[in-house]
Amino acid sequence: MRPRRRMKMIRLETQYFNLNRILLLAVGLWPYQQSNFTRLQFIFFSTILTTSLIFQCTPFISQKCTPDLVVKVLSSASIFAFIVIMYNTFCVNIEAMKNLLEQLQHTYNEVKDKNELAIINAYGYNAKQCTAVFTISGICSLSVLIVAEFWSRILDIISPMNVSQLHSLPIIMEYFIDQEKYFYWILLHFNVSLCIGITALIGIGTTIIAYFQHMCGIIRISSYRIKRTVQINTLKNDKLKNEILMQGIISTVEIHRQAIKLSELLISTNEKMFFCLITVGVVSLSLNLFRIFQIASYGDDIMEILFPFISVAVTILAMFIANYVTQDLTDINDDLFVTVYNIQWYKTPLHIQKLILFLLQKGTKKFTISVGGLFIGSLECFAMLVKASVSYFTVIYSMQ
C-alpha cells in the first residue's frame, strides 16, 4: 500500500512575505526580528526622516510667509509627513502586527486540503507579485529623482558653460547654514531620507496589502468548503453524510469568523494611522496638483515639476490600492453568502439547515472595512477622496 503523501506546512515568512521581510528589515521594522540593533536602527532612521521634515518647514521661519511659499513648502512637506506618520505608527504597533501574522500562520496551519492550499498559493502569489512591482517602481522613481538632482551638472560636463550655476535642492529646505558651502552634505541628508522613506512606504504598504490578500484567500476557502459540503448529499450512508455535513458547515463558519476577526483587528490596530494618512493624503494631493499647475502655467524650471508629479502619482496610487483591496475583500465576502444562498440547503437535514440559516443571517449585514466610521474602503471612497482633493485644489486656485 502506497504511503499517504504528507502535506507541506505553509511558512508565511519564507513563502509569501520574503520580499516584505527584506524591505522591513532594511528599515528596522520586521516584527519577528526586533533586537537592540533594530531599535537603534529605527531611532536613527526616524531621526533622519523627522529632521528632513523639520528642515522642510523651517523656511517659514527664515523667509517671509506668503501664499506661494506656503504652497511650495507644504506640497513637499505633506508627502514626507505621510511617510513619517506611517513609519513611526507602524513601529508603535509592531507587536500587534506580529500577533496578527502569528494568528494568520495559526489559521494556515489548520489547512490540509490541497485545493485550499492552491487558493492560498494563488493569493500569496498575487501579494508577492504586487510587492515586486511596487519595489521595482520605487527603485525607478528614486533613480529618476536622484538623476534629476544632478542633471544640470551632467549637462555641464557634457557641454560646459562659462556661467557658474548655483546649487539647488529639488524642494525648499532651510538648514540655517551656508547651503552653498555644505550643499553635498545637505543633498546627502535629503537623499538618505528619501531612500529610507520610499523603502518604508513600500515595505509597510505592501505588507498590509499582502495581509488583506490573505484574508481574501481565507474567505475563498470558506466558499470552497461550503460548496464541498453540498457534494456530501450524494452519499448513501445518511449517518456518515450528516456527520461530514456538520463538520463542513462548522469549519466554514469558523474559518470565515477568523478572517473577519483578523481583518477588523488589523483596522482597529492601525485606525489612527489610516485616518491620519487619509487626511494628509488629501492635503498632499491638493497642494501638489496646484504646484504642478503653477509650474506649468508660469514657465518655471520644468525639472521642478518632477517631485510634485511623483508625489501626486504616489498619493493617487496609494488611495486607489488601499480602496481596491478593501473593496475586493467586501466583494469576496458577499460572494460567500451568494454561494450559501444558492446551494441546495433545503435538501439537508433540519439541524444542518439551522447552521446554514445562521450563515445566511450573517450575510444580511454587509461587511465593510471602515476607518473611524467616516471612510469605508471601496472604489466609491477612492472617487470621493480624489473628488475632495480636486475641490480643494480648485479653492486654492480661486484664492490666488
**pLDDT (tens digit per residue) in 149-180:** 776 666 555 655 554 455 677 788 888 888 78
How many separate helices (H) and strands (E) can be counted in the chain? 14, 2
Tell me what pLDDT residue 227 has. Answer: 79
- For residues 123 and 209, is the Cβ–Cβ distance under 8 A? no
Digit-coded pLDDT (tens) for 237-270 = 566 666 667 777 778 778 888 888 888 888 888 8
Structural domain spans, the chain: 12-399
- For residues 267 and 212, is the Cβ–Cβ distance under 8 A? no
Tell me what pLDDT residue 25 has. Answer: 92
Rounded to whole angstroms, the Cα distance separating 210 from 4 reads 32
Rounded to whole angstroms, the Cα distance separating 215 from 264 reads 11
3-state secondary structure of 236: coil
Tell me what pLDDT residue 240 has. Answer: 61
Helix (H) or strand (E) holding 375, with range, is strand 375-376
- Here the cell at position 398 is 480661486
**Which of 111-115, 142-146, 292-296, 335-339 comes out lowest in average pLDDT?**
335-339
Helix (H) or strand (E) holding 314, with range, is helix 306-342
CA 352 to each of CA 252, 322, 359, 369, 394: distance values in angstroms, whole numbers, following the listed order: 13, 38, 11, 30, 58
Tell me what pLDDT residue 82 has. Answer: 92
- For residues 42 and 28, is the Cβ–Cβ distance under 8 A? yes
Rounded to whole angstroms, the Cα distance separating 310 from 318 reads 12
Rounded to whole angstroms, the Cα distance separating 220 from 280 reads 34
Decide the pairing of beta strands 370-371 and 375-376. Answer: antiparallel
User: What percent of the chain shows pLDDT beyond 70?
Assistant: 82
CA 7 to each of CA 26, 71, 118: distance values in angstroms, whole numbers, following the listed order: 33, 58, 12
Tell me what pLDDT residue 113 has. Answer: 82
3-state secondary structure of 156: helix
Residue type, 127: A
Give every CB contact of residue 101 below 8 A, 6+ residues apart in sequence.
Answer: 12, 17, 31, 32, 211
Digit-coded pLDDT (tens) for 186-201 = 889 999 999 999 999 9
Report how far Cα 100 is from the mean position of its chain's Cα atoms.
16
Q: Which residue has the higher pLDDT, 23 or 154?
A: 23
Rounded to whole angstroms, the Cα distance separating 27 from 199 reads 7
**pLDDT mean across residues, the chain:** 83
Cell 533622519 belongs to 48
Rounded to whole angstroms, the Cα distance separating 17 from 178 reads 45
- For residues 310 and 290, is the Cβ–Cβ distance under 8 A? no
The yes-or-no verdict on residue 398 having pLDDT over 90 is no
Tell me how long the chain is.
400
| Number of CB atoms found within 10 A of residue 84's CB | 21
The yes-or-no verdict on residue 43 having pLDDT over 90 is yes
Q: What is the CA radius of gyration of the chain?
A: 26
3-state secondary structure of 371: strand
CA 333 to each of CA 119, 187, 345: distance values in angstroms, whole numbers, following the listed order: 15, 49, 19
Q: Which residue has the higher pLDDT, 12 or 36?
A: 36
Q: Which residue has the higher pLDDT, 12 or 152?
A: 12
CA 392 to each of CA 39, 66, 130, 323: distance values in angstroms, whole numbers, following the listed order: 39, 19, 31, 21
HSE-CB for 127 with a 13 A CA cutoff: 31
Tell me what pLDDT residue 3 has. Answer: 44
φ and ψ of 374, to 5 deg: -105, -35
- For residues 256 and 249, is the Cβ–Cβ distance under 8 A? no
Digit-coded pLDDT (tens) for 353-366 = 666 776 666 656 77
Rounded to whole angstroms, the Cα distance separating 168 from 150 reads 10
